[in-house]
Chains A and B, each alone.
Chain A
C-alpha cells in the first residue's frame, strides 16, 4: 500500500494514498461533518459544501477545499478546526437551511435527519439567511413513497442509489440554478413514471425529502371500527427492527417483536413465513410442472413487488416467465380472510389484515386490483419496519424490557427454516430447491443447505444441480441492474437457466426500502465500516434462525399440509389458483 505523509491539526500521520481528506481524517480519528458524501463515494458531488476544510499543499496557498472529494497528497497540511474552516462549514449549513422547510418537529425524519445533525455539529445560527424559496413540489400520489422538495438539499444520493441499484435511474436533477429540483422526468409523480417504488431512495435520503407514505392511521381506524385486526410479519423485519431501539445491527428481535405486536392489540400475530412455505408449495409445483410439461422456462420468482413493477415496465414480453404466484403476504392475507375467518366464524369483511414489511413497494402491491377475491382485499395495510418502530414507540411500550413471546400457533403458526431465509437474496431459491429436491427424489437433501446460492449483495450468482438425473440450472440476482443481465439473456434466447430468483433491492429484503435507516452518524456503537457489513449482519440473523428451526423444508410444514387437506386440495388446485395466484399487466405504460 502506497502511503503519504500528511499533517492534520499539527499532528503527523501516514495515510493510504488516494484517499480523500474526509476518509483519511476519519482513519486518523477526526470526524469532519459531511452531508452529500455517502458510502465510499457512492455519492460524491461535493455539492453541499458542508465538509470544507483548509488544506495546504507544499508552499501553496491555504485553501478551503471540499474534503469529501479532495485527495490527500504528500506533505499536505489539513486544518479542520480553524476559525476560517469552522465558519465556512457553518455558513454552508446555514445556506442550506435558508432554502429548507423547517417544520422539523413534525417531519418524518425527526431524530434521523442528517441535516439537523450537521446543523448541530457546525453550530448553525437561527435564521441567518432569509429570502426567496425554491417552488415546492409534494408528491403523495403513490401509496409507497412521498417526495417533498421543500426538504431536498440536492445532495444527489437518491439519484446515485437509484442508478447503482437499478441501472436506469428514475430520479434525476432537473432545471438549473435556484430552480433545480430532484425528481422523476417532468417532475412527475412516482405513479406517473417508471419508478418501481422499491424505496431505496428513502434509505439514503439525509433529510425528510423522501419517505414512505405512512398508513398507521388506517390501523387506528380499523381498531376503532371494531374489526378483527390480524397482523403478519415478513421474515426480514426481525433482522432490522431492533435497530429502531438501538440494538446492534443484525440482532434478531423476533420474540420481543411478537410481544410488542400483542400489546398493540392485534388479535392474532402470524409470521409471513407460513405464507412463504405456502409460496414454495405453489411455486415449486409450478416449476416442476413447467419443467416436466415443457412450459415457459426459465421461471422467475414473483415475491418482490419492486421486481414485478420493473418487469411490467421494461420486460412486458417476458411476463410469461414470471411465476403466477402471489407474494407470500398476499397469499397469507387471502388465507386469513377465507380459511382462518371461516374457522373463527367471522365475516371476512370484518377481518382486517396488516402486513409488516421491509418494503415500500408492498404498499403498492396490496392495492393492485388483482389482489382480492370476491371483493375482499387480501391485505388492507402494509407498514414498513420503520413504521412499526414508530407505532411501538408511540404506544409507550419499552421494547427492551419486553419478554420474548411466540407467534400464535393455532392454524398458521408453524413455519420452517426454509421460509425464514426468504428475506435474503438467494433465500427463495434455496427454499424452493429443498422442496424440489424432495419432490424429484422422494427424500430430503442430506446437507439441507444449498450454500451455492447464498450471498448478501447485489450481483449474479448461479448454480447447476443434478437432482436424480434432472439437471436444474439456477441463477439469482438482486437489484435491477443485475436482473437486467439475466433478462436480456432470456430475451435473446441465450438463457440456460430453469429457475431464476429476482429481488428488487440489492441484497434482497434485508436491505429493503422499508428497513431501518443505516446512517453512520447516528450509530456511534457500530464499526466505521457498517455500510459494508450491515447486509451480511442482517442476513446472518436470518440464517441463524433457519438453523434453529427443527423443520427446515416447506413441504414438511404440518399446518401447510393441513391447509391443503382441509381447504385448498392440492398445490395449484382450482381454489389455490383463485386465492394464491395472480396475473400481470403486459401493457403497463412507462409514462401515462
Chain B
C-alpha cells in the first residue's frame, strides 16, 4: 500500500484531534477530510481507524454508504445532479444523461482531464426548484437539457463566464 506523505498524515491526525470529545466523531472527521482533500482513500481510513479506534471496515462502510464521500479523487468541478423523487419526475434523468453524453463519463466518474465529476445525488432538499443541479456549491434551479452545454462551457472556462 502506498504510504501517506507525512504532511498529509499530520493534517489528518489534526482533523481527528478536533473531535476527541465527541461521542460519535466519525461523520465529522470524514466530512472534514472529504472537504480538505476531495476524497478518502483506504490508507487515510486506516489512519483514522488508528486514531479513533473505529474499525477500518466500519469506516469503509460509512464512506461507501454516503454519496457525499468519495474513494477516488474528484474533478475540479463536481456536478451534483439531484435524482430525488421530485427532480426525477421533472426530468432530472435526462439532464444527467446530457451531462454524461457531453463529458463522456458516467455518474460517479471523473473526466480524464480532471475537470469534471458527475455525482448522482438523492434529494438535496430543493424540490421546489426541481430539477436541481449543484456545481461546486452553486445551485442551478429548474434545469433543462438545453441549458447543459452552456453550463459545461462556463465551468470549462473557469466558472466565471
B67 to A, closest residue via Cβ? A176
B57 touches A170 (CB 8 A): yes
* 8 pairs of residues in contact across A and B, judged by CB atoms under 8 Å: A170-B57, A172-B56, A172-B57, A173-B65, A185-B42, A185-B56, A186-B60, A591-B46
Q: Check A175–B46 contact: CB distance below 8 A.
A: no
| A168, B54: Cα distance in complex, Å | 7
Given known contacts A172-B57, A174-B57, what 5 new A-B pairs fall within 8 Å (CB)?
A170-B55, A174-B64, A176-B64, A185-B57, A194-B56
**A171 contacts across to B, CB distance below 8 A:** 57
CB <8 Å contact, A592 and B45: no
Q: Which one of A163, A589, A591 contacts B55 once the chains associate, using CB atoms below 8 Å? A: A163
| B158 contacts the other chain (CB 8 A) | no
Inter-chain contact A169/B55, CB cutoff 8 Å = yes
Q: Mark B38-50, 1 if CB is under 8 A from A, else 0.
A: 0000110110010
Q: How far is the CB of A47 from chain B (nearest CB, A)?
A: 14
Q: Decide if A184 touches B57 in the complex (CB within 8 Å).
A: yes
Report A-chain residues with C-beta under 8 Å of the C-beta of B42: 185-186, 591
B:20-76 near A, CB below 8 Å: 42-43, 45-46, 49, 53, 55-61, 64-65
Interface residues on A, range: 20 to 34
Q: Tell me the number of A-to-B contacts counted with CB atoms below 8 Å.
A: 49
Asked if B102 is an interface residue, CB under 8 A from chain A, the answer is no
The answer on a CB contact under 8 Å between B65 and A168 is: no
Distance to closest chain A CB from B3 (angstroms)? 10
Cα distance A163–B61 when bound, in Å? 14
Note all chain A residues with C-beta closer than 8 A to B161. Answer: none
The 0/1 profile, CB within 8 Å of B marked 1, for residues 151-169 of chain A is 0000000010001000011
Docked-complex contact B1 and A592, CB < 8 angstroms: yes
Q: Are A175 and B55 in contact (CB under 8 A)?
A: no
- Listed in ascending order, the chain A residues whose CB lies under 8 Å from chain B are 159, 163, 168-176, 183-186, 193-194, 589-592
Q: Are B61 and A173 in contact (CB under 8 A)?
A: yes
Q: Is the CB of B1 within 8 A of A176?
A: no
Query: Are B55 and A174 in contact, CB atoms less than 8 angstroms apart?
Result: no
Instruction: Name, among B53, B55, B65, the residue most crowded by chain A CB atoms within 10 Å (CB to CB).
Output: B55
Q: A186-B42, A590-B46, A591-B1 are in contact. Are A176 and B65 (CB under 8 A)?
A: yes
Q: Which residue of A lies closest to B41 (CB)?
A: A186
Which chain B residue lies CB-closest to A185?
Answer: B60
A172 touches B1 (CB 8 A): no
Q: Which residues of A contact B56 (CB under 8 A)?
A: 170, 172, 185, 193-194, 591
A149 nearest CB across to chain B (Å) = 14
Q: How far is the CA of A163 from the CA of B45 in the complex (A)?
A: 18
A171 to B58, CA, bound (A): 8
- Identity of the chain B residue whose Cβ is nearest the Cβ of A484 in the assembled complex: B53
Query: B84 to nearest A CB, angstroms?
Result: 15
Report the minimal beta-carbon distance from A111 to chain B, rounded to whole angstroms. 30
CA distance A590 to B61 in the complex (A): 18
Nearest residue, chain A, Cβ from B58 = A172
**Chain B interface (Cβ within 8 Å of chain A)?**
1, 42-43, 45-46, 49, 53, 55-61, 64-65
Residues of A within 8 A of B43 (CB): 591
A369: min CB distance to chain B, Å = 22
Q: How far is the CA of A301 from the CA of B1 in the complex (A)?
A: 31
Nearest chain A CB to B70 CB, angstrom units = 13
Q: How far is the CA of A219 from the CA of B7 in the complex (A)?
A: 54
Question: In the complex, A439→B46 CA distance in Å?
Answer: 46
Nearest-neighbor residue (CB-CB) of A159 within chain B = B57
Cα–Cα distance between A168 and B57 once the two chains are bound (Å): 9
* 5 closest cross-chain pairs (CB), A and B: A172-B57, A185-B60, A169-B55, A172-B61, A185-B56
Please tell me if the beta carbons of A174 and B1 are within 8 angstroms of each other in the complex.
Answer: no
Which chain B residue has the least Cβ–Cβ distance from A169?
A: B55
Q: How far is A426 from B59 in the complex, measured between Cα atoms in Å?
A: 35
Q: Which residues does chain B contribute within 8 Å of A186, judged by CB atoms?
A: 42, 60
How long is the Cα–Cα vector from A159 to B55 in the complex, in angstroms? 11
Contact A169 B58 (CB under 8 A): yes
In Å, the complex CA distance between A194 and B56 comes to: 10
Is B65 a contact partner of A172 (Cβ separation < 8 A)? no
User: Which residues of the partner chain B approach A174 to less than 8 Å between Cβ atoms?
Assistant: 57, 60-61, 64-65
B35 to chain A, nearest CB (A): 22
User: Contacts A185-B60, A591-B1 hold; do A172 and B46 have CB atoms under 8 A apart?
Assistant: no
B-side contacts of A173, CB under 8 Å: 61, 65
CA distance A168 to B46 in the complex (A): 12
| A168 to chain B: closest residue by CB | B55
Residue numbers in B under 8 Å from A163 (CB-CB): 55
In the docked arrangement, what's the CA distance between A288 and B131, Å?
A: 76
A490 to B42, CA, bound (A): 29
Residues of the B chain whose Cβ atoms lie less than 8 Å from the Cβ of A184: 57
CB distance from A168 to the nearest CB of B (A): 5
Chain A contacts for B60, CB-based, 8 A:
172, 174, 185-186
A269 to B57, CA, bound (A): 42
Residue in A closest to B45 when the chains form the complex, CB atoms: A185
Q: Is the CB of B65 within 8 A of A175?
A: yes
How long is the Cα–Cα vector from A172 to B56 in the complex, in angstroms? Answer: 8
Would you give the shortest CB distance from A40 to chain B, in whole angstroms? 22
Q: Which residues of B lie under 8 Å from residue A168 when comparing CB positions?
A: 49, 53, 55
| Nearest-neighbor residue (CB-CB) of B60 within chain A | A185
CA distance A185 to B55 in the complex (A): 9
**With A and B bound together, what is the CA distance between A185 and B41 in angstroms?**
11
Q: Given the complex of chains A and B, what is the CA–CA distance between A173 and B59 in angstroms?
A: 10
Across-interface contacts of A176 in B (CB, < 8 A): 64-65
Bound-state CA distance A169–B56 (Å) is 8
* Shortest beta-carbon distance from A147 to chain B in Å: 13
A175 cross-chain contacts in B, Cβ below 8 A: 64-65
Give Cα distance in the complex from A176 to B65, angstroms: 5
Q: Please measure, in the bound complex, the distance between the C-alpha atom of A186 and the C-alpha atom of B45, giving whole angstroms.
A: 11
Closest to B1 in A: A591
Interface centre among B53, B64, B65 (most CB of A within 10 A): B64
Contact B1–A169 (Cβ < 8 Å):
no
- State the CA gap A174–B62 with chains docked (Å): 7
Q: Chain A's nearest CB lies how many Å from the CB of B77?
A: 26
With the chains together, A174 CA to B65 CA distance in Å?
7
Q: A130 to nearest B CB, angstroms? A: 26
B89 to chain A, nearest CB (A): 20
Give the residue name and chain of the B residue nearest to A172 (CB).
B57
A169: chain B residues within 8 A (beta carbon): 55, 57-58
Minimum C-beta distance from B57 to chain A (A) = 3
Contact present for B1 and A185 (CB under 8 Å): no
Nearest chain A CB to B60 CB, angstrom units: 4
Residues in A with CB closer than 8 Å to B46 are 590-591
